Amino acid sequence: MTTETPSKPNRFTGAFIQSVEGLGKGLIDVVSSIGGVVALGLDVFRWSVRRPFRLHNLFTQLDFVGVGSIFIVGLTGTFTGMVFALQTSTAFALFDAESLVGPTVALTLTRELASVFAALMVTMRAGSAMCTELGTMRVTEQVDALETMAVNPVQYLLVPRVLAGLFMVPALTMLFNTTGMSGAYVVAVFGLGISPGTFLSRTQQWMAPADVYEGLLKGAIFGLSVALICCYKGFNASGGAKGVGQATTEAMVSSALAIFILDFIVGMLMH
Amino acid sequence: MSSATAPGSERAMIDIVDLHKTFAGNKVLTGINLTVPAGSTCVILGGSGSGKTVLMKHMIGLLKPDSGKVIIDGQDIVPMSVEALQQVRRSFGMVFQAAALFDSMTVFENVAFPLRQHTKLSEDEIREQVRKRLDLMGLKREVEGRFPADLSGGMRKRVGLARAVVLDPKVVLYDEPTTGLDPITTDSVDDMILTAQKELGVTSVVISHDIASAFNVANQIAFLSKGVIVEYGPPEKLRESQHPAVQVFLQTWFGKN
């Protein structure tokens, strides 16, 4: 009796302290990861402006990240535009405003969806490969081997990957805009019977080049962030195959979260 | 603090002075003093967790010590910037435990890699240099186009050494080169280390816990225990050592032979 009574509040206090500790540890992990990614970004910038410029490595990564993602981004863009046209037309039909389908799809794609979806596709396709490759190189001492051969691994491995993310995600965003609008045009004109002139003139009337630029800027920010996060996680992987798998999972989750959080922050700053 | 200088040594290629290193409160190196003469082969012997790999990583500047000096060919590399360190590393070659070959490149591309990064040689000259090193390591022409995953453990080590010596380094570091190999392959790796010393005149530092291999290749053996070098000298001297840690370690091999 005497021992049981005081143990109850102790257990409760213990659980409370444990959960606070867990929360604190999680917060510290998040903050130190953000710090690590930012520090890596500065390091990448420092090494990207120094000789030797390894153009072959850069073009290999531009091809892998950009050209290799054309099909998947184009396909996603087409279907996103098509389904968006279909759904908005149903809503606009309620108050006889189907002519606004074109501009609605265009503004949503250019300002928001194209950059977010293109970055998500690049994260899944190229970011995961970057993280796994770098992680495997780290745990099999290939990164150390580079250092011992007087080749800076940040300059040799990370600079081309991060630059590829920075340059190719905006390009893929533009591709997403184009295929998305083409898909929307097909559904609106051939499926819903909206006249081509109405679709195009209304889109032209409501859209400004600034809308496209906003999307491209977001694409560049997302591309840079995603590439940095995936490189950071892979480059700091440890603990063999399990560690590489864990690093890749963390890279995917962190990249997706970063895209949505940055989308909100950039959107808020621009409007 | 123990001091380890090779008896009758000439010019020192590597000179380590009172080196200390702690990881998260765990003292790994507690005052290492070691001098490796130019052109000799020094084996750092010790059990698992004795700090051998940590010591080797300090020699090539992959780790910074808490205190102490790492003098390579007359230059202390501890206070050096990344850029200056890169220059020093050009005079090093390193053979990793699992070879650490770039698995996206063929054998030829792996060995050619340092030449492509640090020289302006033509493709023909690179081919000539690569083949010379592969021949020296006893590797046939047909392995040139193979990927590391298609090679045996011993062949990978040979390619690793061919890559390590392709820029004619002054020092070659071997990280446990015989671990996990069968006795015949171990013998061939020992031959490879001796060949590199005789043919290329390099200073070699081998970290190992393979006593037989150490006695085969070493001019000097340094015995590392609990973060300090407790014995240093030619192999015969180690055999006569009265240090308890050395005796226990050697008994595992000599006791059975």
Tell me which residue of B21, B22, B20, B23 sits closest to B31, measured CA to CA: B20
Report the percentage of chain B scoring pLDDT > 90. Answer: 39
Residue B6 has pLDDT above 70, yes or no: no
The verdict on B117 touching A (C-beta cutoff 8 Å) is: yes
Determine, yes or no, domain membership for A210.
yes
Mutant choice from A142, A154, A157, A161 vs B, greatest count of B C-beta within 10 A = A142
Q: What's the mean per-residue pLDDT of chain B?
A: 87
Determine, yes or no, domain membership for B152.
yes
Mutant choice from B62, B64, B96, B159 vs A, greatest count of A C-beta within 10 A = B96
What integer is the mean pLDDT of A5-33? 81
**Is B89's CB within 8 Å of A150's CB?**
yes
- What the block records as the tokens of A252 is 């995917």
Number of domains in chain B: 1
Determine, yes or no, domain membership for B62.
no
Nearest Cα residue in chain B from A136: B103
What integer is the mean pLDDT of B158-186? 86
Residues 6+ apart with CB under 8 A from A235: A40, A134, A135, A138, A143, A153, A157, A158
Decide: pTM greater than 0.90: no
Per the structure, the complete domain to which residue A96 belongs is given by 54-270
Quick: pLDDT tens for A119-173. 999 999 999 999 999 999 999 999 999 998 989 999 999 999 999 999 999 999 9
What integer is the mean pLDDT of A105-109? 94
Res B53: pLDDT:
87
Determine, yes or no, domain membership for B145.
yes
* Residue B187 pLDDT grade (very low, low, confident, very high; cuts 50, 70, 90): confident
User: ω into residue B148 within 30 of 0, thus cis?
Assistant: no
More confident residue, B105 or A98: B105
Determine, yes or no, domain membership for B112.
yes
What integer is the mean pLDDT of A244-255? 95
Res A55: pLDDT:
92
For the ranges A260-264, B197-201, B214-218, B226-230, the maximum mean pLDDT occurs at: A260-264
Res B245: pLDDT:
84
Determine, yes or no, domain membership for A36.
no
Residue B197 has pLDDT above 80, yes or no: yes
Res B8: pLDDT:
45
User: What residues in B contact A145, CB-CB < 8 Å?
Assistant: 94, 96, 100-102
Report the percentage of chain A scoring pLDDT > 90. Answer: 75
Quick: pLDDT tens for A197-235. 999 999 999 999 999 999 999 999 999 999 999 999 999
Res B3: pLDDT:
45
Residue A56 has pLDDT above 60, yes or no: yes
Q: How far is CA A93 from the centre of its chain?
A: 34
d(CA A45, CA A163): 9
More confident residue, B122 or A98: B122
**H or E segment to which residue B79 belongs:** none
Residue A2 has pLDDT above 50, yes or no: no
Determine, yes or no, domain membership for B52.
no
Number of domains in chain A: 1
Quick: pLDDT tens for B155-165. 888 899 899 88
What integer is the mean pLDDT of B9-13? 75
- Bridge partners of B95? B174
What integer is the mean pLDDT of A98-110? 92
Res A146: pLDDT:
93
User: What residues in B contact A150, CB-CB < 8 Å?
Assistant: 86-87, 89-90, 117-118
What integer is the mean pLDDT of B42-47? 89
d(CA B215, CA B21): 28
Res B33: pLDDT:
92
Determine, yes or no, domain membership for B135.
yes
CA distance A61 to chain B (A): 14
Quick: pLDDT tens for B220-234. 999 998 888 998 999
Quick: pLDDT tens for A63-93. 999 999 999 999 999 999 999 999 999 888 8
Per the structure, the complete domain to which residue B124 belongs is given by 103-167
For chain A, give me the number of helices (H) and strands (E)?
12, 0
Determine, yes or no, domain membership for B224.
no
